[in-house]
Amino acid sequence: MAQKKRDNRTAFFFILPWIIGFICFTVFPVIFMVRTSLTNAKMVGKPKFIGAANYRNMFKSATFLNSLKVTVFFTIVMVIVTAVWAMIMALLLNRKQKLNGIFQFCYFLPSVVPSVALAYAFRTIFGKDAGLLNGLLTLIRGGAVNINWLYDKQTVYLVVFFITLFTYNTGQMMLIFRSGLADVPEDLYEAADLDGASAVRKFFKITLPMISPLVLFNAVNGCISALNGSFALLYPLTGESGDPNGMTQVLSLLIYKEAFSNMKLGYASALSVILFLLAAAFGIAIFLISGKTVYYEN
């Protein structure tokens, strides 16, 4: 009994930094966010309580509704596109051949390149006048190609999702899938080979079920990264207004714009509340779809 009590006290002291951090940097900001969202707080001056007016205005604003739509679309597509690409790279690397070390270096290195550097590289690669892609297409086609990939409504999503393949998120997923693939027992494949199963069938019937917990982890992690990391990629890529025409203006960009360009902190806080709820909704949705929760042993 006395031992247990002493252990409780010791554990409390070890955990103390987290308790303080959790209260100061999570609980308090959440409360503060909700409170500020009910005011007309600006960068300067005294805020006034205005009830739910920010939320009413928000749902009447075409910019917000567009941004909400873009965020949901961007998050879902980014998670799928990056997970599939990460899986392809992991499967390629899982095939034991010479030079795999060099291939992994090439596949992973873009992930540790700062997103600003990537964004600027791709702004010029997909640029209109001296862009690498237009240059290549000009060579192939024989005539000048002048597509402004990032500012053309028809190509912007294609290009932006292509760029997400180079983010940290993709590299992380690839390495996680790789370690999962390495753990799938060989004899399962040997048995399938005897039955004459095709490579595609083996992938869907053996590989995927065997690494399903990692798929779930990557989906959850990918959603958070898409909601969180999209700012660092899209802000230098398409700007706070999400060019062209708000097509890439995810909520985090809108929050930044409302807070720093329009100086409306109250409204930006209301938007943050929505983003917060959206993240929770995504988390719950993934666990419901997967039909099982990740089990944490004690």
Cβ contact 220:173 at 8 Å: no
Q: Which of 109, 158, 208, 281 binds other proteins (CB under 8 A)?
A: 109
Q: Is 121 exposed, middle or buried (0-12, 13-18, 19+ CB in 10 A)?
A: middle
User: Which of 67, 172 has the CB closer to other proteins?
Assistant: 172
Min separation Cβ 296 and other proteins, Å:
7
Length of the chain: 298
What is the Rg, in whole angstroms, of the alpha carbon atoms belonging to the chain? 24
Is residue 135 near other proteins by the rule CB under 8 A? yes
Residue 86 CA, distance from chain mean position? 14
Residues 67 to 86: which contact other proteins by CB under 8 A? none
Q: How many residues bind other proteins (CB under 8 A)?
A: 97
In this chain, which stretch among 59-67, 186-194, 201-209, 269-277 interacts with other proteins, using CB under 8 A?
269-277
E strand or H helix that includes residue 106: helix 100-108
Q: Which of 21, 49, 52, 185 binds other proteins (CB under 8 A)?
A: 21
Rounded Cα gap, residues 37 and 56, in angstroms: 12
User: Which of 110, 246 has the CB closer to other proteins?
Assistant: 110
Is residue 55 near other proteins by the rule CB under 8 A? no
Q: Which of 50, 63, 103, 184 binds other proteins (CB under 8 A)?
A: 103
Compose the 227-256 pattern: x for residues touching other proteins by CB under 8 A, - for all others.
xx--xx--xx---------------x--xx
Min separation Cβ 43 and other proteins, Å:
9
Is residue 166 near other proteins by the rule CB under 8 A? yes
Q: Which of 134, 159, 152, 154 is nearest to 144 (CA)?
A: 134
Residue 124 CA, distance from chain mean position? 23
Cβ contact 60:71 at 8 Å: no
In this chain, which stretch among 26-34, 48-56, 61-69, 76-84 interacts with other proteins, using CB under 8 A?
26-34
Min separation Cβ 25 and other proteins, Å:
5
Is residue 22 near other proteins by the rule CB under 8 A? yes
Is residue 187 near other proteins by the rule CB under 8 A? no
Is residue 113 near other proteins by the rule CB under 8 A? yes
Q: Which of 181, 272, 189, 248 is nearest to 218 (CA)?
A: 181
Q: What are phi and psi of 62, to 5 degrees?
A: -65, -35
